[in-house]
Amino acid sequence: MCGILGVVGQSPVNQLLYDGLQVLQHRGQDAAGIVTANGKTFHMHKGSGMVRDVFRTRNMRSLLGNAGIAHVRYPTAGSASCLAEAQPFYVNSPFGIVLAHNGNLTNTDELKADMFRNDLRHINTNSDSEVLLNVFAHEVAQRVTGHELTVDAVFGAVAAVHRRVKGAYAVVAMIAGFGLVAFRDPNGIRPLVMGCTETDGKTEYMFASESVALDCSGFSLLRDVQPGECVYVTFDGDMHSQVCAENTRLAPCLFEYVYFARPDSVIDGVSVYQSRLNMGETLAEKIRRDLPGLDIDVVIPIPDSSRQSALQLANALGLPYREGFIKNRYIGRTFIMPGQAVRRKSVRQKLNPVPLEFAGRNVLLVDDSIVRGTTSKEIVQMARDSGAKKVYFASAAPAVRFPNVYGIDMPTRAELLATGRDEAEIAREIGADAVIYQDLAALKDAVSSVNRELKLFESSCFDGEYITGDITAAYLDAIECARLDLKHKEDGSEQMIDLNLNVAEQNLI
């Protein structure tokens, strides 16, 4: 999971992109990057770490131009510590193209081989985003005559990308001297919204992974980019759009609503905040129906993303809601930290219990989900150490039993706590007196009830059904082996890249 931004404005956009990345920081903490376009010149700065650590005043001053794209990285393919895989990526032909990508391709190896043998393009990293950039660049080159780029050429290139590429992808890209391109995979798995604002009578456009980036930047939400759609905005501010894929369908990732997205975002017509309130309501219904004798004194959320669900659950059951854990906001989200040892160590640094809320009570802890179980086990133990008599653990999401291959870092079945375990065994594993999971049908209804036009979801991590239809047992085995091999090669180095990519006038004609 990553966060992407794209802006075409009437004035310098470097501050807009920086502020937008900070709002999307929750979507990736491994690396950050910005590329701006000033005439026919790209200016790039990217590096490992949080947005606030990557960019300094001197870096911002070099990011000139009224258009740009930006990215915060959460590694799912490639190496978590490899600077070369920080985004955006750049190729110099045709014209010069930069691209930022959120998602994960499922036919990367085939595309790499095809790029080498047929398209004569070199892929320098293990990142599927670099592969996607080169596919797009090749298809643009196939449709360019002379030094002119037409709207039809852009749409034709994106249509060819949809035919060749499989998996999940939301993309923002810039073509030097021409404009910004935004597109989304034919299933609409990864989110992408667009907004606008008026400056001196001219329209400025912003694209982002979540609507909150638009809100905080003074842009009004126009709509979501549709599955298979391409939106092309020239640097002069002319906007063109077209659905470029056949057999499109909207199947957004359910985990966006459960965990990744900020509650103040609206994605595919769904208020994330309202969907999480609904998750609490349906979870309360399950407890009333299946566990009416559960002796609960207090409901306590695991901050932050489970707060809305826990609050509504407590209200529905007529139980007190209390804040029993205080969060250190200077520690990153443990789920998206690479490596089990780092996650385990960070839990105690991240959360500290308030013993007053636990002592002598039967507590119901509510979290958004249970993935690896590392955090859950530590939290249950903290509750017991603080004097809780009984500790029940509720998950606003169903049991995560299958790998996700569309952009969430859970590709190894052995890492998933629920693999091969029932609820009683999971409770014993994390030290809880009972574990209560949301039912998948209830979760889907919690989201779709906010927007009844949503009929389908990408829910493979819960049900093992992969919406792209190309995921086999052999594929899952291969990515697990690659992941284990990668762990032995990580060097943990952190660096930064600061480049001015000069695209001269003579190179464009």
CA distance 321 to 314: 6
Tell me which residue has tokens 């004194």: 297
Tokens of 368: 């958004």
Answer yes or no: are the C-beta atoms of 437 and 398 closer than 8 Å: yes
Tokens of 203: 């329209």
Q: Is 368 annotated as belonging to a binding site?
A: yes
* Catalytic residue status for 196: no
Q: Is 295 annotated as belonging to a binding site?
A: no
CA distance 294 to 144: 67
Distance of CA 210 to the CA centre of its chain: 9
Find the catalytic residue in 2, 82, 230, 253. Answer: 2
CA distance 406 to 460: 9
CA distance 192 to 196: 14
| Helix H or strand E segment including 52 | helix 51-54
Q: Output Rg (C-alpha) for the chain, integer angstroms.
A: 23
**Residue type (1 letter), 287:** I
Alpha-carbon separation of residue 59 from 18, 30, 285, 365 (angstroms):
11, 19, 52, 44
Beta strands in 354-469 (DSSP E): 362-367, 390-395, 434-437
Q: Is 367 annotated as belonging to a binding site?
A: yes
Binding positions are 305, 367-368
Catalytic residues: 2
Binding positions for Mg(2+) are 305, 367-368
